Amino acid sequence: MTAEPIQKVSIIVSKGSLEGVYPALIMANGARAEGIEATLFFTFFGLDAIIDKRMDHLKVATVGNPAMHIPTLVGALPGMSSLATKMMNQKMEKLDIPPVREFMEMIADTGCDIYACKATVDMFDLDQEDFCPQVTGIITVGEFYEKSAGASIIFT
């Protein structure tokens, strides 16, 4: 039996750190490059990736991140997050991976819908004008599920 190809993905982004946001952006971009319909849904701290004033200042989480392979105490030292962020940004630049803002523009230009979670937007006292222009709209979880009908849902 041949597996049916994926036609549609909906990706939920709940973390606002670089390592929390980039997997979703890369997956959405890859989906669009393969002709797969893609939707990004940002909730909780993931909203930082689409808040206009914050999206250029995302950091790598060094505290409580086991993938950093450093003790939590070291990760908590002043400047560690900035150092790790600088190193990650340099590596991504070498690999020609664009910064978050540029990546968001590229993904939106391919037809990917980008949404903010209404409950989180309300909880954090945000409005549509707080977001980058690529945000398609602010929707409820119910609306997200409606738009995701038939999609593979991925939580990053």
Mean pLDDT of the chain: 91
For residue 32, is pLDDT > 90? yes
For residue 152, is pLDDT > 80? yes
For residue 75, what pLDDT is reported? 63
- 61-107 pLDDT, tens digit each: 877 666 766 766 566 667 777 888 888 889 989 999 999 999 999 99
For residue 8, what pLDDT is reported? 97
CA angle 13, 17, 20 (to 5 degrees): 40
Q: How confident is the model at residue 3 (pLDDT cuts 50, 70, 90)?
A: confident
> 102: burial class by Cβ within 10 Å (0-12, 13-18, 19+)?
exposed
**Which run of H or of E encompasses 11?**
strand 8-13
- 12-28 pLDDT, tens digit each: 999 999 999 999 999 99
- Whole-angstrom distance, CA of residue 132 vs CA of residue 47: 11
Token pair recorded at residue 76: 């908590």
**Domains of the chain, first to last:** 8-60+100-151 (3.40.1260.10)
**Which run of H or of E encompasses 122?**
helix 118-123
Are the beta carbons of 10 and 154 closer than 8 angstroms?
yes
Average pLDDT over residues 118-137: 98
For residue 74, what pLDDT is reported? 65
3-state helix, strand, coil in the chain (%, to 5): 45, 15, 35
